[in-house]
Amino acid sequence: MNTKKELITNSEALATRLRINLLKMAHLAGSNGAHMGSCLCIVEIIAVLYSGVLNFKPTNPTWKGRDRFILSKGHGSMTLFSALEASGIITEEKLLTFSQNGGDLLATSHIVPELGMEYSNGTLGLV
């Protein structure tokens, strides 16, 4: 378990990385589902969770002992996707397919446990 100081340092660095990824994704997506306000307002929460609070194995996203993170705020999915990339669950190449035709990362997350997405979110979720 990380010390409080390590958690703060790690989460601050992760929050910066998430914001940079959000800008890249929004630029590539154009008007196809980039909800920056919803994404930016949850950066710090997700950064803390993914930098040392959640128990998971990036090399085994479906590990039975993992903690499950359920994002109900559908318009914040880009932040979740950014955290999954920073954690090593998905690649940067996959991250940059956000909201692209044929990609796995739609404008809202949907159930794909192998990619770290445990639940279809909000009223925008897919079954």
**What are the domain boundaries of the chain?**
4-115
Could you tell me the sign of the dihedral formed by the alpha carbons of 114, 48, 94, 28, in that order? positive
pLDDT in tens, 25-52: 888 877 666 678 889 999 999 999 999 8
Q: Calculate the alpha carbon distances from 9 to 17, 24, 42, 66 in Å.
A: 13, 23, 18, 23
Count Cα atoms within 13 angstroms, Cβ side, for 17.
Answer: 22
pLDDT in tens, 1-17: 567 788 788 899 999 99
pTM for this one?
0.84
Show the tokens assigned to 33.
């589902």
Please state which of the four CATH numbers 3.90.550.10, 3.40.50.720, 3.40.50.970, 1.10.1670.10 is assigned to the domain occupying 4-115.
3.40.50.970
Count Cα atoms within 13 angstroms, Cβ side, for 73.
Answer: 17
Contact 90, 81 (CB under 8 A): yes
